[in-house]
Chain A
Amino acid sequence: MMLEIDNLNVYYNAIHALKGISFHLEKGEIVALIGANGAGKSTTLNTISGILRPRIGSVLFEGEDLTKIPPQDIVRKGIIQVPEGRKIFSKMTVAENLDIGAYASNDRARIKSNMDMMFQRFPRLSERRNQLGGTLSGGEQQMLAIARALMAEPRLLLMDEPSMGLAPILVEQIFDIIRDINEQGTSILLVEQNAQMALSISDRGYVMETGKIVLEGPSNELLVNPVVIDAYLGGGHD
């Protein structure tokens, strides 16, 4: 098992944001984590990344507990996050953003070839490589955020609402990219509010509600689960 989360309890001072969640991810999988606003999805990802620390519970990555390891070393183990709201460095150029993405590596030749690969994969970024990140459109910023994460050659990619605020056509594109990244061997933990999309490209899914996991199963089953349909798909309110 690549990632195993056990009984995770995370607090923001008095707020009990994660109330003992457990789930796992096998190597090569796309696992979707869906749920309404404030369910605790971002909190989960930030805990895996080491930015937040659990009060109780463990995060095992290939058998090793991450909860005592500093964020920069978690990055070096190959766990990279694409944060919610993109969070690119707006005062750095596109090229510099990518460069920072590969910060954990010292192999200049490899960084360069990775960067060329990113520019091939995202031609719009190539055209704008010397433009400041903050001047990109929302869609371009999302591409940049993904490309920046890929620069670190992730083995497990944590994606926090990559479709947020994008037009339907761009959402399609982003999901194509996600599928593509997965096919090339990267495991993905995908946090989404767009449950339809997330479940349609993932292998398995978990549904979160106010700090707990309330449902889990293969994605194709969740897609037809009446509870999920009612709350996240057909009902149209999330």
Chain B
Amino acid sequence: MTRNISNALHSAIIFIVVTIFLFLIGFTTTGSELIIKALSPSIAKTSEGLEIGFTIFISLIGFIIGLVASKREEPDTLGRNLVAGTIAGLISGVVIGLFGFLMGTLIENGIDLRGYLQSVSPDSMRKIVFDQPPNIGALRLGGIILLSSIFGSFINSTVIRAEWRKSLSTSVSESSTADSVRKTASKLGANQGFRMAMMAVLAAILIILPQQWGSYWNFVMGTVGIYILLGIGVNLIIGLAGQLILGYVAFFAIGAYTFALLTAPAPHNLQWNFWIAVGLAMISATIGSLFIGLPILNLRGDYLAIVTLGFGEIIRILVKSDLLTKFTGGPRGVRDIPGPTIFGQSFSSDVDYMYLIIAAVVVTAFVANRLQNSATGRAWVAIREDETVSKTTGVNSFAYKLLAFALSAAIAGLAGALFASRNQFTGPDDHVLMVSINVLCLLIVGGMGSLPGILLGAFTLKGLPELLRELENYRLLIFGALLVVMMLIRPEGLWPATRPKLEEKGKSIEAQKGEPT
């Protein structure tokens, strides 16, 4: 129980600091504006709109406090998690509420802090107490945080942990008596309906949002989606099979160029059908991976990394070279790539592309997830952990490494084709080493092996910098701060993990008695 409390305290302190920090740099106001703009642009400019935005903003913070506070309970009963969420919510609610009270009182007495803190406008000081008298506003502020924190810990116990239990129970049910199967099954049944509802809400959001966002956000989120695809692909070969591949961008480039050259009016004027070209882009990326994988997948560790790194650069230099300009378009790339059509109808508005990318992400994530939890996934993890031993248990490690490599290349090919199509252009500069590095970073930030981790990582690395563009001056500062917070929320993000929740338990025990292997 003491661990629950210290955990709750920990979470409360971190987020009190973060919240106050965000306020001091003026992000509470901007954040609220962004939220309300994303949800309902029509009321974004009104003061009610801002108030709603701010309420959501604060609730989100409370929700995360609850999530984090209730994260490490063993055993993870609902009661314990709720206690942790309540304690954390109470502490942070009181402190942040007091802070709001202080701000509200100051501004009521006409004290302007802008002289000291440039970004703390009188308006934001009024907003933090909802334009109300300091005492009432502060109560509301604290109350929202408390309630959303409790809600966060509740969601953590019911939805997120249920997911984890399910992954446990699959291995249990394979091996245990009917009794325990029944027990886990009934435990899950209670959450089944709730999860379905969450899925429905998510689907609705994914369908509605692209129409609301406007073309700029569709562009940004489309890029995020492309990186999610790349993340899922790289996760197969690096996160699961444990093979350090660095030149992943090569397959992105092969996909993009195959697609572009097949569809664009120049340099070949083939003008093939979009869907066929996407399929061929995936196939040629796969062939590329076999071509490079067959000779080198026997290499280990750093050799593999260096050879693939070189491969990525070779592809980029080749498409850029003057010699091949007639064939690849050279340094200027391939232009005027036409968009897709469905049943003869053009299907290439920014919203259409967003749908296309969302669909690609959903399908790929589904397939990757199924693979991860199959015998194939277990073979990959065995190879990652100890390739020699995996061989002595009968795993054909070379074949499985090649499979992971080919699949991840196919996904990169798909991502490349979609990227080229959406941009109506592809050129050598789209395929620089930085793409590989970004994908690796998003995996490390988000957490290898977990799909939510990949989503989070892609958004942090590709979406957030765009979001912060409106705050040009603080952009890097906030980005850095958020990275630190991410690492605090998801420390396992730094380590390869098939099931982060479970490993965490393992790690904490290991930490107590030293790594026994």
Interface of chain B: mostly helix, strand, loop or mixed? helix
A100, A129, A136: residue with the most chain B Cβ atoms closer than 10 Å: A100
Assess whether A89 is in contact with B386, with CB atoms less than 8 Å apart: yes
List the A residue with the shortest CB-CB distance to B390: A100
What residues of A have a CB within 8 angstroms of the CB of B505 in the complex?
A: 132
| Assembled-state Cα–Cα distance A141/B516 (Å) | 10
CB contact list, A151-177 vs B, under 8 A: 152
What residues of A have a CB within 8 angstroms of the CB of B390 in the complex?
A: 100
CB contact list, A80-118 vs B, under 8 A: 80-81, 83, 85-87, 89-93, 95-96, 98-101, 103-104, 108, 111-112, 115-116
- Contact flags B43-84 to A (C-beta < 8 A → 1, else 0): 000000000000000000000000000000000000000000
| Assembled-state Cα–Cα distance A116/B386 (Å) | 26
- Contact flags B139-171 to A (C-beta < 8 A → 1, else 0): 000000000000000000000000000001001
Assess whether A72 is in contact with B394, with CB atoms less than 8 Å apart: yes
- Contact flags B391-410 to A (C-beta < 8 A → 1, else 0): 11111110000000000000
Of A95, A104, A137, the contact of B516 (CB 8 Å cutoff): A137
B454 beta carbon closer than 8 Å to chain A: no
Assess whether A132 is in contact with B503, with CB atoms less than 8 Å apart: yes
B494 beta carbon closer than 8 Å to chain A: no
What residues of A have a CB within 8 angstroms of the CB of B172 in the complex?
A: 95, 129-130
- Contact flags A111-144 to B (C-beta < 8 A → 1, else 0): 1100110010000000001111011111001000
B455 beta carbon closer than 8 Å to chain A: no
Assess whether A93 is in contact with B393, with CB atoms less than 8 Å apart: no
Of B375, B388, B498, B516, the contact of A103 (CB 8 Å cutoff): B375
| Assembled-state Cα–Cα distance A137/B394 (Å) | 26
B299 beta carbon closer than 8 Å to chain A: no
| Given A129-B175, A134-B510, CB of A51 within 8 Å of CB of B391 | yes
A204 beta carbon closer than 8 Å to chain B: no
Assess whether B517 is in contact with A134, with CB atoms less than 8 Å apart: yes
A76 beta carbon closer than 8 Å to chain B: yes
What residues of A have a CB within 8 angstroms of the CB of B174 in the complex?
A: 95, 99, 108, 111-112, 115
What residues of B have a CB within 8 angstroms of the CB of A86 in the complex?
A: 517
Assess whether A80 is in contact with B392, with CB atoms less than 8 Å apart: yes
What residues of A have a CB within 8 angstroms of the CB of B502 in the complex?
A: 93, 132
**Smallest distance from the beta carbon of B367 to chain A beta carbons, Å?**
21
B382 beta carbon closer than 8 Å to chain A: yes
List the B residue with the shortest CB-CB distance to A111: B174
A66 beta carbon closer than 8 Å to chain B: no
**Smallest distance from the beta carbon of A32 to chain B beta carbons, Å?**
21
| Assembled-state Cα–Cα distance A141/B515 (Å) | 13
What residues of B have a CB within 8 angstroms of the CB of A115 in the complex?
A: 174-175
Of A91, A129, A134, the contact of B176 (CB 8 Å cutoff): A129
Number of B residues near A (Cβ < 8 Å) is 34
- Contact flags A65-82 to B (C-beta < 8 A → 1, else 0): 000001110011000110
B378 beta carbon closer than 8 Å to chain A: yes
CB contact list, B382-439 vs A, under 8 A: 382, 385-386, 388-397
Assess whether B517 is in contact with A98, with CB atoms less than 8 Å apart: no
B506 beta carbon closer than 8 Å to chain A: yes
| Assembled-state Cα–Cα distance A135/B168 (Å) | 16
Assess whether A130 is in contact with B171, with CB atoms less than 8 Å apart: yes
Assess whether B391 is in contact with A71, with CB atoms less than 8 Å apart: yes
**Smallest distance from the beta carbon of A34 to chain B beta carbons, Å?**
22
**Smallest distance from the beta carbon of B339 to chain A beta carbons, Å?**
44
Assess whether B386 is in contact with A135, with CB atoms less than 8 Å apart: no
A49, A50, A80, A96: residue with the most chain B Cβ atoms closer than 10 Å: A96
List the A residue with the shortest CB-CB distance to B396: A72
Assess whether A90 is in contact with B391, with CB atoms less than 8 Å apart: no
A148 beta carbon closer than 8 Å to chain B: yes
Of B168, B382, B503, B509, the contact of A100 (CB 8 Å cutoff): B382
Assess whether B381 is in contact with A116, with CB atoms less than 8 Å apart: no
**Smallest distance from the beta carbon of A46 to chain B beta carbons, Å?**
8
Assess whether B382 is in contact with A134, with CB atoms less than 8 Å apart: no
Assess whether A92 is in contact with B388, with CB atoms less than 8 Å apart: no
Of A75, A108, A132, A135, the contact of B392 (CB 8 Å cutoff): A75
| Assembled-state Cα–Cα distance A119/B177 (Å) | 11
Of A49, A91, A148, the contact of B498 (CB 8 Å cutoff): A91
A49, A129, A137: residue with the most chain B Cβ atoms closer than 10 Å: A129
B280 beta carbon closer than 8 Å to chain A: no
Assess whether A119 is in contact with B175, with CB atoms less than 8 Å apart: yes
- Contact flags B365-389 to A (C-beta < 8 A → 1, else 0): 0000000000100110110011011
| Given A80-B392, A83-B392, CB of A130 within 8 Å of CB of B168 | yes
Of B175, B498, B509, the contact of A116 (CB 8 Å cutoff): B175
What residues of A have a CB within 8 angstroms of the CB of B393 in the complex?
A: 75, 80, 100-101, 103-104, 148, 152
| Assembled-state Cα–Cα distance A78/B28 (Å) | 65
**Smallest distance from the beta carbon of B173 to chain A beta carbons, Å?**
10
Assess whether B388 is in contact with A51, with CB atoms less than 8 Å apart: yes
Assess whether B506 is in contact with A96, with CB atoms less than 8 Å apart: no
- Contact flags B491-513 to A (C-beta < 8 A → 1, else 0): 00000011000110110011000
Q: Which residues of A contact B (CB under 8 A)?
A: 49-51, 70-72, 75-76, 80-81, 83, 85-87, 89-93, 95-96, 98-101, 103-104, 108, 111-112, 115-116, 119, 129-132, 134-138, 141, 148, 152
If A87-B386, A111-B174 are given as contacts, then 14 extra A-B residue pairs at C-beta distance below 8 Å, sorted by A number, are A50-B391, A51-B391, A72-B397, A83-B388, A90-B517, A99-B171, A99-B378, A100-B393, A103-B379, A104-B393, A134-B516, A135-B509, A136-B516, A148-B393
Provide a sorted-by-A list of 29 A–B residue pairs whose CB atoms are within 8 angstroms: A49-B391, A49-B392, A50-B391, A71-B392, A72-B394, A75-B394, A81-B392, A87-B386, A89-B382, A89-B385, A90-B506, A90-B517, A91-B385, A91-B506, A92-B381, A93-B502, A95-B171, A95-B174, A96-B378, A100-B395, A103-B394, A104-B394, A108-B174, A115-B175, A116-B175, A130-B171, A135-B509, A141-B516, A152-B393
Nearest 3 CB-CB pairings of A with B: A104-B394, A132-B506, A75-B394
